Structure 1
Amino acid sequence: MGSLPAVEHLPISSNHLSMLQEVVQSSSVANFLIRNYERTFNGFAAKLTNQEAKKLASMKGVVSVFPSRTLHLLTTRSWDFMGFHENSNHNLAAESEVIIGVLDTGIWPESASFQDEGFGPPPKKWKGVCKGGKNFTCNNKIIGARFYSSSSSSNSTDGTARDVEGHGSHTASTAAGNKVKDASFFGLGQGTARGAVPSARIAAYKVCHPEGCDSMDILAAFDDAIADGVDIITVSLGGESAVDFYEDTIAIGAFHAMEKGILTLNSAGNNGLSGLQSVSSVAPWMVSVAASSTDRQFIDKVILGDGEKLNGFSVNSFNLNGTKFPLMYGKYVSKNCSETEAMLCEEDCLDSSLVEGKIVLCDQFKGSFEAHRAGAAGSILLNEDFKNLSSMVSLPALALSNDNYDFVKSYVKSTKKPEAEILKSEVIKDSAAPVVAIFSSRGPNFIIPDILKPDLTAPGVNILAAYSPLGSPSNDPTDKRQVEYNIVSGTSMSCPHAAGIAAYVKTFHSDWSPSAIQSALMTTARAMDQSKNDDGEFAYGSGHINPIKAVDPGLVYEAFKEDYIKLMCSIGYAPDSIRAISGDNSSCPESSQNVPPKDLNYPSMTAFVPSEKSFTVNFHRTVTNVGLSNSTYRAEVSPSSRLHVKVVPEVLSFKSLKEKKSFDVTVTGEGLNSSAMVSASLVWSDGNHTVRNPIVIHTFRGTRD
């Protein structure tokens, strides 16, 4: 994988074939070639054995060879919750010039969220095409569409950019969907559905299919999106865990985008239940987005035969109209499974003849799928992992806490003819919000422990947005409901919120670098309540995104390609590994010029320290004035009983815009236990702007410590 040559002597695809010919020694070499990358990258994807891959890697002019991976999708009150109301200030002329590239499952072009009434022609800078395939038409809202199908799975080649799953339509409309009044999911969550930048344009790149998202397709989509002229790229997908940047297709694509002035935003991951160091999006040149709640919570209730009413959690659109049904425990309505499997309502365990017309009690949430398949009237589930998270269900069902679930089991056991009614879900106000979702992946960064990830958090719980009528609203294959709008949770939902806000910032500052926009999002983020959020900054990074403040951050921290190259040199990446990311002949400078990760000009300050030893950590930063030309900022450090923080100088005075000032932060403290973290924050303020930077010291080792 390399960059395009400045002068082309032969067609790039011909050069790829000749290289492949030397490796595979076959007369039908074209059969081995899957895809050429020739718009912003210089490379190709091919079917090779390990030995052939090694031979190719040794050839002159080959920068890198790496295997393809399969990545996975990470799945309207939210805008008002953030104070970003319909009447908030929008630069509509500039907004209509902004193009958001969405790498996802495609898009449903007929959705009201993507109609083009009132839109003019695409921006003149647009160089893309509408290759949406059969029965797919673009318009002046969806100005471009492409689909990719390099996977060997025949099921992935559907020949269209049309979204058959719903995920891509949901993320695209969250970022830039039109204002659609009275949108709801069967009456739930009713209101105006809208994206952050409703006047912006969308370019859809379908890289995901039901089997997953092939990394060679993702790279092809980045190649196209960059050349097409998008301004922001949102990627709501990722791997199960963090990998080195030279093996991370999203990191590689985002690096090339950054070099061309395009900011990439990526889901942090949905592996929060795995614990710390589960965040998969860790490259510093893109924004890693965690998911948190809004103040709108969906709850449900069950009424037992004795009149007892219990509260639970689900997004349940069904109404039993006052009818009570017999209540049975899963282990009593199964013929083919062990007692343990039947209690859990495992797949194919429930007997349809025994559950018909009954509500089934299941010891796990996914038991609702089996209850629906078997034809049960409803299901009561144990909410074993996800606490207060309400999930979509495909039949009348709700999840109960351990105590309430045990209460129902006792009722069933002690009652001759137990019965229950499950009500339709309702909405209540959640005064504790925002709280980072339990599924949202946590830091610290496993690849570079001195760079805090995730970067920030955004709404990602029970988000109402556009959907595909061909997708199951509950991810239950037996759920045949067709919907135009759906309520979904995941870091897949938080990522397009942040991407839309990045686009919003871009409409006011078209000349800002990707790192300047990233800095604006991070330093203006609202501080989170650590007492309500397990794992603190490892859960929410710099805090909760703030759309209005992000437009006017006052100061920004900027970093560029050469800074990231020096960073990778400092962590020990070999030149070949760095070139696999940069695509050119970048080399490491003298060691004295390397940038230690903690000194990358990043909007947060993080350092790994050995456990049980007192420490002194120094951070060096440079800020650029983008607020008022004549301004004076004073430093204020939040109190911390375990950290002593000194800032030099404590005052930064600016005489002009774009003026730069540097400062140093020294953090000292006593030894920390292993697997420990302490934090503080530095705030620069001029009376009009508040520039907040988290300071995190921890003892979690990474891959190179």
Structure 2
Amino acid sequence: HQTSNIEHQTSNIKHQTSNIKLYIIRLSDLPLATYEGGIPEFSATHPRSIGKKRLDVRTPASKAYRKHLSDKQDQLTAFMKKNINPLLNPIYKYEVVFNGMALRLTPGEAAEIAKLPEVVSVHQDRPRRMMTDTSPAFINANAIWDGSGTCGQPGTKGEGIIVGIIDSGIWPEHPSFADDGSYPPPPVKWGGKCTPPADGTKGYSCNNKLIGIQYFLKAYLANKGDNYDGLFHSGRDDNGHGTHISATAAGNENVPATIYGIDRGMVSGMAPRAHIASYKATGPGGGVTSDLLAAIDKAVADGVDVINYSIGNEFASDPWKDPDAQAFLAAREAGVFVVVSAGNNGPDMSTIGSPANAPWVTTVGASYFNRLFLSDIEIQNSESEIRNFYGASPTRGISDFNLVDTEGIADVKGDTSGYCLNPFPTGTFRSTDAVLCKRGEIATAVKGNFVQDGGAGAILLYNDENSYDLSSFPYPIPSVLVLYEKGLEIKEFIAQSTQPPTIRFTQGEPFFSPDPRVPVDTVLGLSSRGPAITESSPDSLLNIVKPINIIKPDLTAPGIHLLSAASPEWVDTIHGEIGRLGNQGEFFQIIQGTSMSSPVVAGLGALLKSLHPDWTPSEIQSALTITAVSQDHKARDASGDHPATPFDLGGGRVDVSRATRAGFVLHESTENFRAADPSE
């Protein structure tokens, strides 16, 4: 009835036609997951208020309250169309973990809507960025599978658990998601679906392993105006990020992996018998919160047990006001264990952004585990002097190529910086040239394409001053990457040679600790650090930073040289083409980042949920965090490796076998999280 009163307060608002942006409107009624009653006609739907462990959207009470929310949203929409702008139509309506809607508005319209009594807040939508063969044995997942680490309980591989992946989609035909006929149907609580592509191009199907594929791109397309290719205007993954993450969390067990024609053994997800539900909510240029919020809302309604969210923002907005952070608070109350990547903005303090800074999500940093793919490098100059190095390589090696420094050589735009930022003209290099490029400014794998355009047959990269890890990328030609200091040595060696030196490097092979080149249990330099903060504005000139006295991340997991599934076709975001950048046609890749460490924990959460179905998300988080391993762990930054602090690694590196033996677990309530708002 409040909407009828609004009409007396606002009228004849002039519509401005310029500067339209995406906004998320939050309304005053509680969403389905946290509604504890209070409206006489509607019973409580909050699970704990009615003695349940998780939300059930199919009960009569849930259906009635959702209709109530939807009807009030429709009333508000009708009022706004009459009094603000007749063309206003919600892109999305949210009811399950967030009560509100997404709209395209001018700033003036947003300001008027913010004054309405049913409106709690109006947020301008902000872009979100996408931020795995992790040996299961390293974190003792195999001890949960076979029952040797479950304290007498039967082993589990995640049977009956649904893992929801909100990301860039999935490659449905990948063997990591195949159903060999041994999977049972999804649990009866499952309410999701397999949404076909928008235009029917290259359709796909789901099975009892990959039980759901849905996509949420309305706001992305409205905001960016992209002409999205028919193949990918669907739940199909356009860059491999979501496919890699899905397989890391819950991909099939013992899937043969080959990259660049090299047999890399078998890969398994952390919870290999769990069901996977994919929610695509990002496009080639990233994502927007409106779409992501719709995916969160639908995933919880569908009945997922775990959500992985390897997505975020460098900007640390207030989690007590941020829409997706608030949605995750309600999702937690609905019984869903939410895992969020810490971000790749380390190693400086307080670099964790949103929604990873929210205390109610499990925030995961990235650390080295006990294996790297390394290559031995030998460079010989014209005076027969030899220098030996090592670097990271996922590819085959080369023998007796000429080593050419690209600094001073112009690309098609005349840049001679040595960063290899643009394609080089055809014929710049020979097929027997290995060219030296500096890392930074653009995606590293793209540099391989640009030197290949110029004719080069291999690439040697070295870190820039702000990169500290031996990373691996999907290059199209033989490649190896060395640390910054070694790159400077190589540059000097080239400069001192009267003729181009020759270079050979070996095929990248797995090396394991205690090899001193493998810094096991060291937090990656790129992994974002705590403590958590909030910021007032993305504009650094106006930004007010406030500490919120929260230790983040919560823990770390393996996050470098992770071998997992990939999409064999993906979109070139620079040229708008398919099959242009990186190494196309590969079904597996070796990459790194907190995006890759987060699904490790999501998969382990699925194992714990299968083993302890009575545990709440808080109890799963506490079991993993208080049993994590931290003794003698290091953290990497510009000065090298130093003893890690809780702001580097939280509780420590995850060990799921220890988590099953936790002496106690802790539950925390939504009420207490809300009461901890430092602005109150």
User: What TM-score comes out, normalization by structure 1 length?
Assistant: 0.75
Which residue does 2:429 correspond to in 1? 355
Which residue does 1:412 correspond to in 2? 494
Which residue does 1:145 correspond to in 2? 213
**1:40 Cα shift?**
4.7
1:648-703 per-residue CA deviation (whole Å, 9 max, x = no partner) reads xxxxxxxxxxxxxxxxxxxxxxxxxxxxxxxxxxxxxxxxxxxxxxxxxxxxxxxx
1:111 aligns with 2:160: no
Which of 348, 351, 356 is the aligned partner of 1:278?
Answer: 351
Which residue does 2:333 correspond to in 1? 259
Which residue does 2:21 correspond to in 1? none
Which residue does 2:509 correspond to in 1? 426
In structure 2, give the amino acid aligned to 1:147.
Y
1:391 aligns with 2:472: yes
1:491 aligns with 2:594: yes
Asked if structure 1 preserves the Cα contact closer than 8 Å seen for 2:368 and 2:524, the reply is yes
Cα 1:369–1:296, aligned 2, differ >3 Å: closer, same or farther?
A: same
Cα 1:93–1:524, aligned 2, differ >3 Å: closer, same or farther?
A: closer
Asked if structure 1 preserves the Cα contact closer than 8 Å seen for 2:98 and 2:326, the reply is no
Which residue does 1:101 correspond to in 2? 164
Residue range with higher mean Cα deviation, 83-92 or 40-49: 83-92
The 2-side partners of 1:189 and 1:563 are apart by 51
In structure 2, give the amino acid aligned to 1:34.
I
Which residue does 1:155 correspond to in 2? 226
1:380 aligns with 2:380: no
1:55 aligns with 2:142: no
The share of aligned pairs that are identical, in percent, is: 30
Q: How does 1:443-458 map to 2 (within 5 A)?
A: 443-447=530-534, 448-458=547-557
Which residue does 1:122 correspond to in 2? 186
The 1-side partners of 2:661 and 2:346 are apart by 32
Cα 1:237–1:402, aligned 2, differ >3 Å: closer, same or farther?
A: closer
The 1-side partners of 2:364 and 2:214 are apart by 25
Cα 1:422–1:542, aligned 2, differ >3 Å: closer, same or farther?
A: same
Asked if structure 2 preserves the Cα contact closer than 8 Å seen for 1:526 and 1:544, the reply is yes
The 2-side partners of 1:317 and 1:495 are apart by 25
In structure 2, give the amino acid aligned to 1:428.
F
The 2-side partners of 1:39 and 1:534 are apart by 43
Which residue does 2:304 correspond to in 1? 230
In structure 2, give the amino acid aligned to 1:445.
A
Q: How does 1:207-246 map to 2 (within 5 A)?
A: 207-246=281-320
1:602-627 per-residue CA deviation (whole Å, 9 max, x = no partner) reads xxxxxxxxxxxxxxxxxxxxxxxxxx
The 2-side partners of 1:212 and 1:318 are apart by 31
Asked if structure 1 preserves the Cα contact closer than 8 Å seen for 2:397 and 2:504, the reply is no
Which of 373, 382, 385 is the aligned partner of 1:298?
Answer: 373
**1:69 Cα shift?**
1.4
Which of 279, 287, 311 is the aligned partner of 1:205?
Answer: 279
Which of 391, 416, 428 is the aligned partner of 1:342?
Answer: 416
Which of 531, 554, 564 is the aligned partner of 2:663?
Answer: 554
The 1-side partners of 2:174 and 2:287 are apart by 24
Asked if structure 2 preserves the Cα contact closer than 8 Å seen for 1:345 and 1:371, the reply is no
**1:122 Cα shift?**
1.1
**1:188 Cα shift?**
5.5
Cα 1:34–1:9, aligned 2, differ >3 Å: closer, same or farther?
A: closer
**1:337 Cα shift?**
6.7
1:517 aligns with 2:590: no
Cα 1:319–1:535, aligned 2, differ >3 Å: closer, same or farther?
A: closer
Alignment partner of 2:530: what SS?
coil
The 1-side partners of 2:423 and 2:588 are apart by 32
Residue range with higher mean Cα deviation, 19-28 or 491-500: 19-28
1:371 aligns with 2:451: yes
Please list every run of 5 or more consecutive structure 1 residues that lacks an aligned counterpart in the other structure.
574-705
The 1-side partners of 2:434 and 2:157 are apart by 54
The 1-side partners of 2:227 and 2:288 are apart by 10
Cα 1:209–1:335, aligned 2, differ >3 Å: closer, same or farther?
A: closer
**1:550 Cα shift?**
1.0
Which residue does 1:544 correspond to in 2? 653
In structure 2, give the amino acid aligned to 1:143.
I
Which residue does 1:478 correspond to in 2? 581
Asked if structure 2 preserves the Cα contact closer than 8 Å seen for 1:299 and 1:390, the reply is no
Which of 315, 333, 341 is the aligned partner of 2:409?
Answer: 333
In structure 2, give the amino acid aligned to 1:529.
D
Q: How does 1:583-598 map to 2 (within 5 A)?
A: none
Alignment partner of 1:23: what SS?
helix
**1:236 Cα shift?**
0.7
Q: How does 1:515-664 map to 2 (within 5 A)?
A: 515-531=618-634, 532-533=641-642, 535-568=644-677, 571-573=678-680
**1:241 Cα shift?**
2.8
Cα 1:355–1:534, aligned 2, differ >3 Å: closer, same or farther?
A: farther
Asked if structure 2 preserves the Cα contact closer than 8 Å seen for 1:32 and 1:48, the reply is no
The 2-side partners of 1:362 and 1:269 are apart by 25
Alignment partner of 2:331: what SS?
helix
1:85-136 per-residue CA deviation (whole Å, 9 max, x = no partner) reads 3753285779322111110111111111111220011111112222243402
Asked if structure 1 preserves the Cα contact closer than 8 Å seen for 2:425 and 2:453, the reply is no
Aligned length: 566
**1:503 Cα shift?**
1.0
Asked if structure 1 preserves the Cα contact closer than 8 Å seen for 2:161 and 2:275, the reply is yes
The 2-side partners of 1:539 and 1:32 are apart by 44
State the structure with bigger RCO (CA 8 A, min sep 6), 1 or 2. Answer: 2
**1:374 Cα shift?**
2.2
The 2-side partners of 1:438 and 1:542 are apart by 18
Cα 1:73–1:10, aligned 2, differ >3 Å: closer, same or farther?
A: closer
1:500 aligns with 2:603: yes
Asked if structure 2 preserves the Cα contact closer than 8 Å seen for 1:368 and 1:379, the reply is yes
CA RMSD of aligned residues (A): 2.8
Q: How does 1:28-47 map to 2 (within 5 A)?
A: 29=86, 32-47=89-104
1:203-252 per-residue CA deviation (whole Å, 9 max, x = no partner) reads 11101111111101111111111111111111011001321014433311
Residue range with higher mean Cα deviation, 7-16 or 295-304: 7-16
In structure 2, give the amino acid aligned to 1:511.
D
Please list every run of 5 or more consecutive structure 2 residues that lacks an aligned counterpart in the other structure.
1-25, 36-41, 43-63, 535-546, 635-640
**1:24 Cα shift?**
4.6
Asked if structure 2 preserves the Cα contact closer than 8 Å seen for 1:96 and 1:200, the reply is yes
